[in-house]
């Protein structure tokens, strides 16, 4: 296949690009606006592969998208481009409305117009895969329930509301125009190449510097953690095997409170980096509780039984194995994250929470 991937320089997008180039014979054209979270060095390992190409482009640029579709002639689209940071959405929601809603609409329209021109066999084989989040479902509170593909939408933040809107647009383009779409909603991702302001890398890197480890509220918020490389495998399974018009939830079956996540990281660092920064006796002593985020959802948890039952996917990493790999990766790849931190410090933009 010739796959057009939007947002392929981001955290999840780059994992998907690396997976496809390393584990399939498909070709990828990666289009990315290269905002603060886009990083082409995440793709250095496959950058010279003849099946990979890149074009810097904003998905709101309709003329640019039309040119890409005409020239590349994709067999499938995997749409990952999105503004995704909840704190940034609270501070400045306009970019989330523009990229996540207007950008998705623009991409859908260009894809629809392209799809309608295809010959019969290519038209039947075409796929538009929209990658979304479990945050569209809102908050499970303290229950033992899980998000399923039929859970009602109840977004809580400007970010999740913009993603919910984009999901609805994709379903409307399927129902109204027949565009062959698929939607996936995933739980919290973690792993290598994660932007340093997100929770897990922020805690690792702050601890290494002896900085406070800021935890919202009392740290009791629960998330289901999904190793990003497991997610990439799931997304490829959906684009190649998924049923048109269907939604698939993707989760890691790893529910942890934020405080448990931070304490686990501290424990791994005690083992892997016993020589601590000056004045630090224990990494856990760096944990610092801060005022909770407005509208902070208490619990997310995914029922991923449908994708397991229908497509045979299941996560390979437990949280324990995945978080160990993640901490080790950050310890071994300062050349990737150090320049990002330097840029964030200059902008006084470091220290947000994931």
Residues 196/231, Cβ–Cβ less than 8 Å:
no
Q: Is 270 a known active-site residue?
A: no
- State how far the Cα of 352 lies from the Cα of 315, in Å rounded to an integer: 29
Considering 32, 58, 83, 134, which one is annotated as catalytic?
Answer: 134
- State how far the Cα of 308 lies from the Cα of 248, in Å rounded to an integer: 10
Give the DSSP letter string of 83-110. ---HHHHHH-THHHIIIIIIIHHHHHHH
Retrieve residue 46's tokens: 């496959």
List, in order, residues 6 or more apart from 125 with CB less than 8 Å away.
Answer: 75
Considering 32, 58, 83, 135, which one is annotated as catalytic?
Answer: 135
Dihedral angle at the C-alpha atoms of 63, 65, 70, 74, nearest 10 degrees? Answer: -170
> Do strands 222-227 and 255-257 pair parallel, antiparallel, or not at all (unpaired)?
antiparallel
- State how far the Cα of 13 lies from the Cα of 30, in Å rounded to an integer: 9
What three-state secondary structure class fits 288? strand
Considering 159, 216, 236, 330, which one is annotated as catalytic?
Answer: 159
- State how far the Cα of 181 lies from the Cα of 60, in Å rounded to an integer: 19
- State how far the Cα of 234 lies from the Cα of 245, in Å rounded to an integer: 17
- State how far the Cα of 156 lies from the Cα of 21, in Å rounded to an integer: 36
Q: Is 230 a known active-site residue?
A: no
Question: In the chain, which ranges are E strands?
Answer: 2-6, 27-32, 52-56, 76-79, 127-133, 181-186, 188-190, 213-216, 222-227, 247-250, 255-257, 287-290
Please give the C-alpha separations between residue 335 and each of 20, 97, 159, in angstroms, as whole numbers. Answer: 24, 33, 30
Q: Is 134 a known active-site residue?
A: yes
**Which positions are catalytic?**
134-135, 159
């Amino acid at each position: 296949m010739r796959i057009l991937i939007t947002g392929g320089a981001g955290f999840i997008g780059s994992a998907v690009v690396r997976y496809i180039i390393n584990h399939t014979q498909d070709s990828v054209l990666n289009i990315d606006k290269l905002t603060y979270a886009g990083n082409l060095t995440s793709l250095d390992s496959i950058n010279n592969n003849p099946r990979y190409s890149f074009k810097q482009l904003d998905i709101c640029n309709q003329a640019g998208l039309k040119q890409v579709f005409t020239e590349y002639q994709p067999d499938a689209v995997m749409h990952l481009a999105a503004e995704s940071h909840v704190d940034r959405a609270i501070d400045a929601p306009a970019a989330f409305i523009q990229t996540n809603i207007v950008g998705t609409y623009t991409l859908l329209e260009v894809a629809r117009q392209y799809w309608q021109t295809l010959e019969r066999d290519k038209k039947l084989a075409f796929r538009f895969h929209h990658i979304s989040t479990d945050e569209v479902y809102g908050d499970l509170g303290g229950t033992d329930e899980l998000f399923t593909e039929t859970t009602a939408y109840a977004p809580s933040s400007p970010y999740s509301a913009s993603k919910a809107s984009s999901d609805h647009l994709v379903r409307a383009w399927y129902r109204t125009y027949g565009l062959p779409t698929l939607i996936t909603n995933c739980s919290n991702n973690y792993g290598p190449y994660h932007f340093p302001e997100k929770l897990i890398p922020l805690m690792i890197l702050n601890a290494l510097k002896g900085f406070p480890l800021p935890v919202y509220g009392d740290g009791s918020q629960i998330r289901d953690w999904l190793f990003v490389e497991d997610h990439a495998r799931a997304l490829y399974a959906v684009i190649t095997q998924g049923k048109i018009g269907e939604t698939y939830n993707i989760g890691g079956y790893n529910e942890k409170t934020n405080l448990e996540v931070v304490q686990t990281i501290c424990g791994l660092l005690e083992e892997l980096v016993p020589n601590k920064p000056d004045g630090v006796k224990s990494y856990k002593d760096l944990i610092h509780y801060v005022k909770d985020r407005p509208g902070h959802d208490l619990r997310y948890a995914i029922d991923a039984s449908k994708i397991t039952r229908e497509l045979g996917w299941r996560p390979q990493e437990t949280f324990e194995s995945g978080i160990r790999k993640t901490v080790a990766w950050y310890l071994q790849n300062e050349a990737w994250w150090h320049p990002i931190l330097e840029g964030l410090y200059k902008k006084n933009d470091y220290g947000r929470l994931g």
